[in-house]
Every structure is written in structure tokens, then in C-alpha cells.
């Protein structure tokens, strides 16, 4: 994943996209090609657990995509002056 497409929050690279872009640009092509995809919808609790547990952190970091599912993640990105495009709560 290109660094300009991510925002780092405590060593977790969040994909900086909208729900629509996530579906159209990242997930639909993988579904059409039947490519296995590991997607983490990370909230602050997941980031804090990753901070405490190196094995858990490695699993989260191994995801194909990590998307922000928590207003705390969005606020942290804003504090870093690297705003995320939106919080992605569900994929419906």
C-alpha cells in the first residue's frame, strides 16, 4: 500500500479512503478475482491492544487493509494533522 494512502496511528497503517472508494477500488477487484483479503476494522481498543501485545500487533499489521472504525481513530489522525477521509463503520 502506498504511504500517501495511509495514516499511521501507533504503528498501525490505516487506509485513508472513503467507504465507496474502499468498495470500488480495493475490495470489488479482489472479490472479482477471488483473492483472499484480510481486512481489519480497527477502533481505539484494537490499537491499544496492539500496543500492549506484539503478536496481536503483528497480526493487525499483516492485514491487507486496516480501516478506521472508531471516532477515536479519526480524532487521533486529526491531531496528527493527517485527517482520515471518514470513519468506516460497516460495509453494507
pLDDT higher than threshold 80 for residue 2: no
Total domains in the fold of the chain:
1
The pLDDT score that the predictor gives to residue 1 is 53
Residue 69 forms part of a structural domain: yes
pLDDT in tens, 37-81: 999 999 999 999 999 999 999 999 999 999 999 899 999 999 999
Domain extent at residue 31: 3-79
Residue 90 forms part of a structural domain: no
Short-list 13, 82, 11, CA closest to 3: 13
Residue 41 forms part of a structural domain: yes
Report the chain's mean pLDDT, rounded to a whole number.
Answer: 94
Q: Please say whether the beta carbons of 4 and 72 come within 8 A.
A: no
Residue 89 forms part of a structural domain: no
The pLDDT score that the predictor gives to residue 89 is 84
Mean pLDDT of 13-24: 96
Amino acid at each position: 500500500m502506498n504511504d500517501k494512502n495511509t495514516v499511521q496511528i501507533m504503528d498501525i497503517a490505516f487506509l485513508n479512503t472513503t467507504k465507496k472508494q474502499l468498495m470500488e477500488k480495493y475490495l470489488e477487484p479482489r472479490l472479482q478475482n477471488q483473492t483472499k483479503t484480510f481486512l481489519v476494522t480497527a477502533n481505539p481498543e484494537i490499537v491499544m491492544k496492539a500496543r500492549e501485545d506484539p503478536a496481536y500487533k503483528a497480526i493487525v499489521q499483516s492485514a491487507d487493509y486496516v480501516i478506521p472504525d472508531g471516532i477515536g481513530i479519526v480524532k487521533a489522525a486529526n491531531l496528527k494533522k493527517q485527517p482520515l477521509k471518514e470513519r468506516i463503520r460497516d460495509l453494507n
